[in-house]
């Protein structure tokens, strides 16, 4: 329902349009078309083109149905006659004016009604929460008083009065809580009915196609008749793009699809435009001028008498005052909007030219476009840490060999066209190596039995021998390799001695084995003082492999060993 005030406002705008047109000899309404759009992280630069027939004299070209959030400082315009022999046209001025839009006005009014209703609901809920907190606090005080042991120092008269006041107030608060809950139950019924009715009206308005609420007038001084080509460039907010990746593993090849989700809420669809995506913000102004950068020593004789901590504290306060206080700090609906792009790269920045005939809806519906698809030889590794988990992790090792960095974005992982998991691809520079977690390899079974322990006593020492057995078996049809991360105990305590009696040969890079000619007293020693071992096992199809770790720990009999 349009109010009298809104009707007056619409009438005033309409009269303004008529008055402005009367000041010029001719007014031409131009049908413009969006031809090019460059989308940035938080805005977009739009190019509109049109052709209009003009006659000699003062002329005004009117463009209707433009987005309301055009950034004024970004506006650019150029014009030329189709016939080069025609005398140049002189551009005088431009002006944006509000366009009547009944739908937007009603939506704002309904939105305000809904916010008022929701605010009332929150006030009811907050009142109940506050009463519950008071009641619970008083109950805790009463219970604490009951449990106070005898002999406790006497409490003051003021404390007795406060306790009495709280116990007298408790029944009143409980009654108020009962009334508040009852009032909320009654309000919920009205709230649900009114909110549903308001949302129904808003949904009905959203179905209407009257989305835009601004028009543009361009004033010209025309010398000769002809067809005038006009190009208008401007920036709009409520437009953005973000990267999204799709990694597919097929046999011995990895395919990485670098895609973008493009969204805009200008209220105007971009139909079959030439779309580009940029990783840098647009520049509408010249760079700031540089000034000399002077350094000097700070001199303050009074500081010489203060302590170092006082100087540091004062410097911190000055810096804090100078800097100031910082402010507190679904893909199911995606539609394919365009084919692959071409890339223009300058250092760390890139401009992706997606191509022509791209459509992005103006209601913030996300559209998906393909930037580039890259193929890699499958650098797949498998890792397992049996002490923590029997799951075998699958990793892809790739290198960014493209001409531009990969921005951070969501990553969807597929193996043989089967969706496996979601992950995150971090920002990756050119020629940088990247290790991506692909999920669990369920075709490798890892079993680790309960460690076997044997205890014995030798003189005044306790000796514990522990044996750990681990079995790996592959269900793959081809041989695969698995990197096994193992851990053995280490110590820096001189009273504890650890002897490693059995460690597999494939852990040799981390272990020093005795020479074959060594005497019986030679021991296995660790190259890593942290006791972290890593080795690679090749598994044949359906053939289990079992390995053992065995070590002997000697420590004083009457002492307890922590961590073992």
Residue 319, in any domain of the structure: no
10 Å Cβ neighbour count for 444? Answer: 20
**Local structure of residue 151 (DSSP, 8 states):** T
User: Do 465 and 548 belong together in one domain?
Assistant: yes
314 — pLDDT class (breaks 50, 70, 90): very low
- Does residue 338 form part of some domain? yes
Assigned token pair, 64: 């209707």
CA distance 546 to 550: 13
**How many CB atoms lie under 10 A from the CB of residue 176?**
16
> Do both 27 and 140 map to the same domain?
no
The predicted pLDDT at position 199 comes to 87
Smallest CA-to-CA distance from 434 within 464, 417, 471, 409 is with 409
Dihedral (C-alpha) 550, 552, 558, 564: value to the nearest 10 degrees?
A: -30
Please check whether residue 312 lies inside any domain of the structure. Answer: no
Assess if residue 277 is contained within a domain: yes
Please state, in angstroms and rounded to a whole number, the distance separating the CA atoms of residues 506 and 546: 12
The backbone torsions φ and ψ at residue 65, rounded to the nearest 5 degrees and listed phi first, read 60, 55
Whole-angstrom CA distances from 137 to 78, 105, 132, 144, 161 are 71, 48, 8, 11, 17
pLDDT at residue 304 tops 50: no
Condensed to tens digits (0 to 9), the pLDDT of residues 16-28 reads 444 444 444 578 7
For residue 258, the model assigns a pLDDT of 93
Q: What's the CA gap between 435 and 525, in Å, rounded?
A: 31
Last residue of a domain, one of 413, 442, 471: 442
Q: Which of 442, 474, 497 is the last residue of a domain?
A: 442
Q: For 284-294, how does the pLDDT look when each residue is reduced to its tens digit (9 = 90+)?
A: 666 667 777 77
Structure tokens at 210: 């009257």
Asked if 70 and 111 sit in the same domain, the reply is no
Distance CA 255, CA 373 (A): 7
Q: How far is CA 360 from the centre of its chain?
A: 22
- Looking at residue 318, its pLDDT comes to 39
CA distance 9 to 503: 87
Distance of CA 168 to CAs 77, 102, 120, 163, Å? Answer: 76, 58, 30, 9
The answer on 263 and 226 residing in a single domain is no
Name the residue with tokens 């005088």.
92
**Domain span at 156:** 104-206
Residues 248 and 273 in one domain: yes
Which range in 110-124, 309-323, 474-488 is most confidently predicted, on average pLDDT?
Answer: 474-488
Q: Which of 396, 422, 442 is the last residue of a domain?
A: 442
Same domain, yes or no, for 133 and 271? no
pLDDT in the model for residue 564: 76
Lowest-confidence region among 240-249, 288-297, 310-319, 454-463: 310-319
3-class DSSP assignment, residue 269: coil
* Residue 92 lies inside a defined structural domain of this protein: yes
- Composition of the chain by helix, strand, coil, percent to 5: 25, 45, 30
Residues 481 and 541: beta-carbon distance below 8 Å: no
Q: What is the mean pLDDT of residues 171-200?
A: 87
What CATH number should be reported for the domain holding residue 108? 1.10.287
What distance, in Å, lies between the first and last C-alpha atoms of the chain? Answer: 77
Same domain, 115 and 144: yes
Q: Which residues of 216-246 are buried (b: 16+ CB within 10 A; e: fewer)?
A: bbbbbebeeebebebbbbbbbebbbbbbbbb
Of the candidates 252, 275, 240, 261, which has an alpha carbon nearest to the alpha carbon of residue 412?
261
Beta strands in 441-557 (DSSP E): 444-448, 452-458, 461-474, 480-487, 497-502, 511-512, 525-526, 532-539, 545-556
Residues 60 and 142 in one domain: no
Instruction: Give the highest mean pLDDT range of 71-80, 341-350, 465-474.
Output: 465-474
Band of pLDDT at residue 556, cut at 50, 70 and 90: very high
Sorting pLDDT into bands at 50, 70 and 90, what band is 44?
very high
Query: CB-based burial of residue 530 (10 Å sphere; 0-12 exposed, 13-18 middle, 19+ buried)?
Result: exposed
> Is position 404 within any domain?
yes
Percent with pLDDT over 90 in the chain: 25
List residues bridging with 548 in a β-sheet.
469
**188 and 113 share a domain?**
yes
Domain shared by 197 and 148, yes or no: yes
Least confident segment among 189-198, 247-256, 303-312: 303-312
Q: Would residue 288 count as lying in a domain? A: no
**Residue 97 DSSP SS3:** strand
Say if residues 59 and 28 touch (Cβ distance below 8 Å).
yes
Do 220 and 137 lie in one domain? The reply is no
With H, G, I as helix, E, B as strand and everything else as coil, classify residue 392: coil
Summarize pLDDT for 215-234 with one digit per residue, the tens.
Answer: 888 888 888 888 889 999 99
pLDDT at 331 over 90: no
Note whether residue 326 is domain-resident.
no
pLDDT at site 96: 77
Q: CB of 60 within 8 A of CB of 97? A: no
| Domains identified in the chain, total number | 4
Of the two residues 63 and 284, the one the predictor is more confident about is: 63
CB 260 within 8 A of CB 241: yes
Q: What does the block give as tokens for 228?
A: 């005038």
Q: What is the mean pLDDT of the chain?
A: 79
Judgement on whether residues 371 and 231 belong to the same structural domain of the protein: no
């Amino acid at each position: 329902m349009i109010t009298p005030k809104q009707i007056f406002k619409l009438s005033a705008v309409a009269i303004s349009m008529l008055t402005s047109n009367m000041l010029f000899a001719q007014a031409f309404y131009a049908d413009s078309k969006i031809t090019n759009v460059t989308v940035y992280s938080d805005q977009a630069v739009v190019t509109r083109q049109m052709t209009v027939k003009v006659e000699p004299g003062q002329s005004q070209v009117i463009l209707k149905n433009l987005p309301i959030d055009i950034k004024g400082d970004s506006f650019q315009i150029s014009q030329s006659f189709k016939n080069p022999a025609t005398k140049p046209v002189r551009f005088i001025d431009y002006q944006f004016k509000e366009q009547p839009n009944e739908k937007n006005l009603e939506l704002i009014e309904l939105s305000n009604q809904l916010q008022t209703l929701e605010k009332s609901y929150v006030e009811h809920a907050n009142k109940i929460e506050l009463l519950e907190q008071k009641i619970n606090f008083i109950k805790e005080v009463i219970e604490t008083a009951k449990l106070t042991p005898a002999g406790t120092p006497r409490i003051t008269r003021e404390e007795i009065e406060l306790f009495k006041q709280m116990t007298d107030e408790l029944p009143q608060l409980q009654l108020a809580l009962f009334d508040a809950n009852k009032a909320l139950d009654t309000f919920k019924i009205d709230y649900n009915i009114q909110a549903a009715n308001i949302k129904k009206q808003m949904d009905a308005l959203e179905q209407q196609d009257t989305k835009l609420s601004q028009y543009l007038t361009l004033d010209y001084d025309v010398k000769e008749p002809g067809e005038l080509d006009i190009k208008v460039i401007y920036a709009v907010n409520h437009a953005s793009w973000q990267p999204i990746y799709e990694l597919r593993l097929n046999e011995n090849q990895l395919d990485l699809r670098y895609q973008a989700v493009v969204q805009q809420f200008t209220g105007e669809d971009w139909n079959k435009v030439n779309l580009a995506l940029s990783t840098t913000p647009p520049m509408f102004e010249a760079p700031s001028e540089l000034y000399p950068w002077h350094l000097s020593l700070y001199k303050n004789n009074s500081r010489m008498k203060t302590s170092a901590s006082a100087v540091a504290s004062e410097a911190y306060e000055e810096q804090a005052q100078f800097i100031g206080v910082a402010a507190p700090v679904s893909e199911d609906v995606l539609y394919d909007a365009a084919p692959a792009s071409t890339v223009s790269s300058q250092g760390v920045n890139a401009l992706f030219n997606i191509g022509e005939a791209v459509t992005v809806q103006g209601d913030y519906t996300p559209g998906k476009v393909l930037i580039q698809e890259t193929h890699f030889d499958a650098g797949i590794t498998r890792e397992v840490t049996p002490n923590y988990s029997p799951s075998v992790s699958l990793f892809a090792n790739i290198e960014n060999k493209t001409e531009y960095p990969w921005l951070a974005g969501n990553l969807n992982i597929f193996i043989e066209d089967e969706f496996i998991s979601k992950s995150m691809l971090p920002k990756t520079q050119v020629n940088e190596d990247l290790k991506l977690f692909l999920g669990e390899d369920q075709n490798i079974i890892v079993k680790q039995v309960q460690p076997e322990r044997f205890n014995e006593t030798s003189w005044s020492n306790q000796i514990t021998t522990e044996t750990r057995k681990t079995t790996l078996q592959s269900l793959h049809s081809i041989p695969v390799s698995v990197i096994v991360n193992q851990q053995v105990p280490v110590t820096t305590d001189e009273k504890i001695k650890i002897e490693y009696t059995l460690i597999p040969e494939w852990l040799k890079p981390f272990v020093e084995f005795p020479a074959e000619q060594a005497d019986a007293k030679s021991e296995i020693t660790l190259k890593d003082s942290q006791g972290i071992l890593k080795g690679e096992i090749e598994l044949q199809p359906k053939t289990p492999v079992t390995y053992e770790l065995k070590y002997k720990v000697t420590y004083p009999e009457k002492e307890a060993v922590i961590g073992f």
